[in-house]
Each structure stands twice: as structure tokens, then as C-alpha cells.
Amino acid sequence: MDILKLVSAYNQESSHTNHIKESRFTQIPETSSKIQYNTHVKMMPSLLKSILMTLDPMYSGIPEKERRMYLQQRVMEMCSQIDESRETSYDVYQFHSKKMRPKMIQQNLQKSIANDVNLLSVLYYLTEYYKRHFVIVQEDGYHKTCIKPYPVQTVYYSKGHYSVIDKEYEHLPELQCTDIPLSIDVKGIPYETGLKAISNYPVAELKKMCESRKISLHDKGKSKKKQQLYDELEISYLCN
């Protein structure tokens, strides 16, 4: 089970999220302050560009003819920071060392800015970079993409284009993760959780671990399968 499938279930079951009152557009912890960002309604074929255009504080002050070059330079800076300031630009995010490798992130950022390729790994990196939960909203539903209690920022998607704008979505149904308008190049949890690979655990041990963390062993009256127990343990270790 991928993280996109678990996001909804975790948010529904978590006692933490049940006590947070969501506003029209954002869910902001009391200790957080709202980040001010530019408001652009232009639809872009690139999710990366759309996010940078909106959240980068310098973008609105750049002359129109220089903005394309500026976005390319910003991505190159982000890639350089991963190498030169690894502790604050990669290690602190606690990404899974195999699923979200530094080199992979750098390559995908460059691929996205050059060719308008929209990848889930890039969205995961931007989630940590800007400390935002990007909810992708379509006309027929929405996709949650983060299990951390970051402030929500909606991204509107339509006909192959994206725009980072405030968009109501609570009245819409949550869509299947397989229908998310991104190339899914990362499977499962993108973060390190401290657990070994699933093959290292017999079912009986996973059940004991789940019980110790008060995770139910049943789902709709049926015993959960090994993969589901493991996935929910990863969520538990990551969020608690």
C-alpha cells in the first residue's frame, strides 16, 4: 500500500487531526504562522514551476522577460544546496535513502524544470522544502499527498495544467491514488521510519508491534494482511 492510500486513512483515524479545525483552505498548527506568498492564477503545464512561481518570495519582483531564467537558476540552487548544505537541505527531511536519493532528487528537479515532467518525487521534496501539504484539487475530487501536519496549500489541476491557488475541496470526494495527475516514481513511504525491510518481520512479530502502538489488527472485520500491518506501523513510527 502506497503512502497516498494511507494518507486518507491516517488523517481520518488520527486523534491529532480530529482535534484540528480546518479552515476553508488551510490546516495550520497553532505553533505555525501563515507564510505569505505570491498569488498567481496562471495555469502551467509544470507543477514545479507553478509552485516556485507562487511560493518563491523573489519571483514577483523579477522582470517578466527574466522569470524563465530565474526559475531555472532557482532549481540549480536547490540542487547545489543538496550537495553543499546536505544537513539542512536533505538530511533534515529524513527521506528514505533508497527511495529518495539525493542524486535522484537533483536529476528529477532538473528534468522537471527543463521538460515540464511532473513527478511525485519532486512534489515530496517540495513538501519538505516549503513545509506545505499540497492537496491536488480537480473538478471531480482531490488528492491528499502528505501525512505530516503541515499547512495545506491547494493546487488546482485541469487538462494537464496546474495552478497554486486557494481552492475549496471539502465538498468533493477523495480520489484514488492511482488517478493522481503525476508520474508515480516513488512507491510506499518516502521517509526513513526506523523499520527494517518487511521481509525481516514474521507476521506474528508485526502484530505484536502493532498492538504495542495500539494499531488495530483488523479492518472491516477481517484480519489485516502483512503488508497493511507493516505500512501502518511505518505511518505510526513516522508521525509519533
Tens of pLDDT, residues 56-104: 999 999 999 999 999 999 999 999 999 999 999 999 999 999 999 999 9
Q: Tell me if 17 is assigned to some domain.
A: no
145 within domain boundaries? yes
pLDDT band at 26 (very low <50, low <70, confident <90, very high): very low
Residue recorded with cell 505569505: 36
The pLDDT tens digits of the residues spanning 130-149 come to 999 999 999 999 999 998 99
From CA 230, how far away is CA 110, in angstroms rounded?
33
In a domain, 30, yes or no: yes
Structural domain count, the chain: 1
Lowest-pLDDT range of 36-40, 88-92, 213-217? 36-40
Evaluate whether residue 32 is within a structural domain: yes
Interatomic CA distance for residues 238 and 236, integer angstroms: 5
Span 149-188, pLDDT tens digits: 999 999 999 999 999 999 999 999 999 888 899 999 998 8
215 vs 40, more confident: 215
Neighbours of 190 (CB within 10 A): 23
142 occurs within a structural domain: yes
- Mean pLDDT, rounded, for 40-57: 91
Tell which residue, 238, 239, 124, 140, has the closest CA to residue 182.
Answer: 124
- Averaged pLDDT of the chain: 86
Alpha-carbon gap, residue 212 to 147, rounded angstroms: 21
Q: Which residues of 67-97 are buried (b: 16+ CB within 10 A; e: fewer)?
A: eeebbeebbeebbeebeeeeeebbeebebbe
pLDDT band of 12, cuts 50, 70, 90 = low
Whether 49 is in a domain gets the answer yes
For residue 13, being part of any structural domain is answered with no
The C-alpha cell at 160 is 494537464
Domain extent at residue 142: 22-189
Quick check: is 14 in a domain? no
Query: What is the band of 18 on the pLDDT scale with cuts at 50, 70, 90?
Result: very low
Q: Alpha helices, DSSP H only, in 136-188?
A: none
- pLDDT at residue 4 above 90? no
Residue whose C-alpha is closest to residue 74's, from 52, 107, 50, 104: 52
Burial class for 230, CB neighbours closer than 10 Å (0-12, 13-18, 19+): buried
| Assigned C-alpha cell, 149 | 501536519
Q: Are 236 and 211 in contact (CB under 8 A)?
A: no
